[in-house]
Amino acid sequence: MNETKPPEFKTQFAEDVFKGLTSYPKKISSKFFYDEKGDELFQKIMELPEYYLTGKEYDILVQHREEIGDAFSSFNGFDLIELGAGDGKKTKVLLRHFQEKSYDYKYLPVDISKNVLEQLSGSLLQEFPGLDVEPQQGTYANVLTRLADYRDRKKVILFLGSNIGNLTPEEAVAFLKKISSAMHEKDLFFMGVDQKKEPQVILDAYNDSAGVTEAFNKNLLTRMNRELEADFDPETFMHWPLYNPETGVAKSYLVSTKEQTVQVNALNLEVHFHKWETIHTEVSQKYDDTSIAWLAEEAGLEMAGSWADKDNCYKNYLFKRTGL
Ligand code: AVI
């Protein structure tokens, strides 16, 4: 009998690419954008005039740091846990304020990348001598399980940058449920969320005139070429973002501009593309107060505060766990 064995994959990337390119419609998760080149391109995106998210959140933190600090602080101190700390530029606004106020706190940046954590810790120790930092390397899920045992004093969990938007609403509920189950009485969860707004402003944020977002999206193709011995020609794919103002979903695609066949040698895979066939690569969900309230309720969280810029373009929400 001719039995087909399921293929064995060396990495999560290999497995997801295989599944995504053999399904219809084709898709690859945006979590694979972030290799070294992708991290670099994302840093550039955050500086772009069209990509308002970073600047808006930064301004909110600067303007409302006093009130946010009051909400975070506690008589016996607190542990500040940041999921996906990155370069910490925005968090440093809060840390600076907490230092000025002589708050008693420990900062626990969480990231999957050891490299990111080392760079961040280095810059923190230079800028904030004496800061109590305890980097936590691992996936959010693993670290959250570990940190659920931190119950001696208040925990404040930070999730900035509208990273929640890169999950579908169903995935977001599942993720927030994990957060709420790691929280005890008095613990807080502080999250930055990009808001529904004029559709063109959102589209421009994902289609900048300098083409950095296009390069960021197409980096998936070069990553497959490098890591999976594929032969994608990025010139034959278009970057195509969409925004649906009804659902608040922004999506990005790579669109094949011609009929072609691509080899992914490491996966022993031949992938055929019709002219104008798509690979869905990213979801950047936008929310409003109503949809955030729904998300929170589903996840067992209760809103405890929110801060926005003057145009309600971006918001930072504070939650506690429901029913505690
Ligand atoms: C990281 N994340 C919140 C960004 C976003 O806005 O969805 C990633 C990004 N994709 C294209 N530009 C920026």
| Residue 5: predicted pLDDT | 61
Average of per-residue pLDDT values in the chain: 94
User: Residue 81 pLDDT > 90, yes or no?
Assistant: yes
- At position 289, the amino acid (one-letter code) is D
Tell me how far apart the alpha carbons of residues 317 and 229 are, in angstroms, rounded to a whole number: 43
Q: What would the mean pLDDT of 207-232 be, rounded to a whole number? A: 98
What pLDDT score was predicted for residue 141?
85
The best mutation among 34, 42, 171, 254 to test binding of ligand 1, ranked by most ligand atoms within 8 Å of the C-beta, falls on: 42
Percentage of residues of the chain with pLDDT beyond 90:
86
CA–chain centroid gap for 23, Å, is: 25
| pLDDT of 289 strictly over 90 | yes
Nearest to 118 by CA among 158, 139, 87: 87
Say what the pLDDT of residue 278 is.
98
pLDDT in tens, 118-153: 989 999 999 998 999 999 998 888 888 888 887 889
Whether 3 has a pLDDT exceeding 70, the answer reads no
CA-nearest residue for atom 4, ligand 1, is 163
- Which helix (H) or strand (E) covers residue 143, if one does? helix 140-147
CA–centroid distance, 20 to ligand 1, in Å, is 20
Mean pLDDT (whole number) for 30-44: 93
Q: How many residues are given for the chain?
A: 324
Residue written as tokens 């029913």? 323
Element (H, E) at 200: helix 199-205
Tokens encoding 253:
């695609």
Q: Is 86 in the pocket of ligand 1 (CB under 6 A)?
A: no
Residue 133: DSSP 8-state: B
249 within 8 A of 288, measured Cβ to Cβ: no
Instruction: Tell which wins on pLDDT, 85 or 41.
Output: 41
pLDDT of 90 above 90: yes
Q: How far apart are CA 119 and CA 284, in angstroms?
A: 27
Cα distance between residue 288 and residue 197, in whole Å: 9
User: Which pLDDT value is given to residue 215?
Assistant: 98
From 206, 208, 252, the mutation candidate for ligand 1 (largest count of ligand atoms within 8 A of CB) is 206
pLDDT of residue 92: 96
Q: How far is the CA of 99 from the centre of ligand 1 (A)?
A: 30
pLDDT of residue 324: 66
Ligand 1 atom closest to the CA of 162, numbered from 1 = 3
Nearest protein CA to atom 5 of ligand 1, as residue: 284
Per-residue model confidence (pLDDT) at position 323? 75
Residue 120 in contact with ligand 1 by CB distance below 6 A:
no
Ligand 1 contacts CB of residue 164 (under 6 A): no
DSSP state of 235: G
pLDDT in tens, 192-217: 999 999 999 999 999 999 999 999 99
Structure tokens at 122: 């280095």
| Percentage above 70 pLDDT, the chain | 98
Q: Which atom of ligand 1 is nearest to the CA of 46?
A: 13
88 in ligand 1 pocket by Cβ < 6 Å? no
Predicted confidence band at 2 (pLDDT cuts at 50, 70, 90)? low
Global pTM?
0.95
Question: Three-state DSSP class for 25?
Answer: coil
pLDDT digits (tens, 9 = 90+) for 162-185: 999 999 999 999 999 999 999 999
